[in-house]
A and B are shown apart, each in its own frame.
Chain A
């Protein structure tokens, strides 16, 4: 962590003009907070909850990018399939929360493996732009195919009854809910699991090796294809959980559900430094908070414009994101 912070400080020194901007933002937020602290903390709480959901999607983007240098735009739609799977499991077959979540993870992992084998693997040695365009095509295919009448239908579905009963409570005027705690707990647990897999298992070591240097890893006897497939499956399983949590918080499901959260999570991954796992998490939290604060304090219609301008600014001024440079271990 200290290494990341050092990197951050040294890059801030290079880009000194960011300091007054950050200072201005800080002062502005502080004045808004003094004007109405309850509302401010409510926005923060909402932003953190949103950020935790984005984190689950952003991790998949960042892991896949770290290993195959591909921005998997179909990731947001895998997230949508996860939401639908969880919905059908809990409402139609009355599965419990955890079994439904596991099922969604398995279904999405398989889906991601199929997508990878069909659409990305044949293009692995093609120019990167070809794979990127295929990813966009895959994303549209999933959205419009699932919108057919015999798949999920183009209409929205209200998620009732929810597998968790909402229990809001207030601390000093700020509303929390059990769902928020569940979202945070599950995301944290999955992040720890991911950390364990990447840094403490043989597969994780292989992933890091492939991310570092693919040909050498292959020479060392690592089954590179297997590792790549595993990475896709792992990212998709996380996205499936994200999808389930997302539709519990916003109980309406349609096949275009994944597009926006997918893009936001992508921005979060870029902001945190694409390829970096901690970067994806921190970036997601920041994007979540930027969303709620800009919606609350500037204008609800400006929210998306602000979030997307962050993407442009990051790409212009710091394309490696917050933690991108620091880590050579892109996994």
Chain B
């Protein structure tokens, strides 16, 4: 069965490649490369990324396209793999002659694409790559042709601190984190820095490893310290366990986490009363969000996740910048993008000097078995 799938996908890729070889009708359509993992472990991420971006393109096409031309998107499969991503990037840039790229999803895929895109002066905007190295090179220099639509890990850490300080008026906090995961550890450390900078005190700072299931000693310490908030910036799987055991221990401090909690598998009983930061909230009442959720649901029958929302935002930021620049020359569009301010599904977006978006993080609240939009965090 697997072989048949492999064969089919090979044929699919071949057909895409062959169609790319036909003489391009550059005059009638406006080509944009749309890169993401369409196969592999995180293929569902790639599907959300693709569908979110295509929704934006279709909406613009219905309005007459951009610069008077219909938008044509060219898909590339990055497989969340640096080498496959580099190949996919080269292919859309050299063969399809795109001047603009939306993607990729994984930071490890976006970084090699960024390298080639900056060499070739092709403008790239990624929806979801959070690693700082996507927009800023190893040498500390900003990559002029690469932007992203999502906030990065340092931002999210400080957003969690902002929830604790502003919304919950916390003075003290307890933190547990997975010592083997850069994302979780990063959030914990950025939270600590931001929280302590504003005069907060960390009472418990404990690490665990991925295989752990027994958190009783850590939680006893948390209970004994009695902090105002309990920060658990893990993925939902560990959150379910830690939350359930904390409830057993009688810890009442509200728990706060990051976008790792964002999953249908989050145990709302274990996380009850907790808050977490996310890129967007489907129940956000702004019309742009409601329209996005409605049209996405009509097409795909699911509530769009944050990946789809960010790909959508990345696409409209790109299209608005092109429209405002009035030209398809990436050299000019990149300057417009650096200063533009666009309302997206994930909030008002403008860029800082490192090409990271300046925006608010949505705070979601877990209550009565539901995840609801609570407020915005402004670190």
Contacts and interface: CB of A to CB of B under 8 A. Distances in A.
Contact of A36 (B224, B244, B249): B224
Given A168-B248, A301-B179, A252 B237 contact: yes
B220 A252 contact: no
A170 B217 contact: no
Interface string A239-279: 00000000001111000010010000000000000000000
Contacts of B206: 300
B217 A300 contact: yes
Contacts, number: 77
A179 B250 CA distance: 14
Contact of B248 (A179, A252, A257): A179
Interface residues of B, number: 29
A153 interface: no
Interface in B182-230: 206-209, 211-214, 216-218, 220-221, 223-224
Contacts of B208: 300-301
A177 interface: yes
B241 A168 contact: no
Contacts of B248: 166, 168, 177, 179, 249
Nearest to A251: B244
A296 interface: yes
A291 B214 CA distance: 10
B224 A170 contact: no
B220 A43 contact: yes
A43 B209 CA distance: 20
A295 interface: yes
Given A43-B220, A296-B220, A175 B250 contact: yes
A156 B223 CA distance: 27
B237 to A, nearest CB: 6
Given A156-B237, A250-B241, A300 B207 contact: yes
Contact of A46 (B207, B216, B267): B216
A173 B339 CA distance: 57
Contacts of A293: 217
Nearest to A297: B217
A158 B213 CA distance: 12
B213 A260 contact: yes
A39 B220 contact: yes
A285 B209 CA distance: 23
A50 interface: yes
B157 to A, nearest CB: 21
A111 to B, nearest CB: 22
A231 interface: no
B119 interface: no
A295 B241 contact: no
Given A166-B248, A260-B213, A46 B241 contact: no
A292 interface: yes
Given A160-B267, A296-B217, A300-B208, A42 B224 contact: yes
A149 B249 CA distance: 34
Nearest to B211: A260
B269 interface: yes
B61 interface: no
Contacts of A249: 248
Contact of A175 (B217, B223, B237): B223
A295 B245 CA distance: 16
Nearest to B179: A301
Nearest to B265: A158
A291 B209 CA distance: 14
B241 A296 contact: no
Q: Which of A160, A168, A295 has the most CB of B within 10 A?
A: A295
A102 interface: no
Interface of B: 179, 206-209, 211-214, 216-218, 220-221, 223-224, 237, 240-241, 244-245, 247-250, 265, 267, 269-270
Given A251-B240, A301-B207, A301-B208, 6 more contacts: A42-B220, A42-B223, A50-B214, A50-B216, A175-B220, A175-B249
Interface of A: 36, 38-39, 42-43, 46, 49-50, 156, 158, 160, 166, 168, 170, 175, 177, 179, 249-252, 257, 260, 291-293, 295-296, 300-301, 303-304
14 contacts: A42-B220, A46-B217, A50-B214, A175-B220, A249-B248, A250-B213, A250-B241, A252-B213, A252-B244, A260-B211, A292-B217, A296-B218, A296-B220, A303-B217
Which 7 residue pairs spanning A and B have beta carbons closest together? Answer: A295-B217, A46-B216, A296-B217, A42-B220, A250-B213, A292-B217, A39-B224
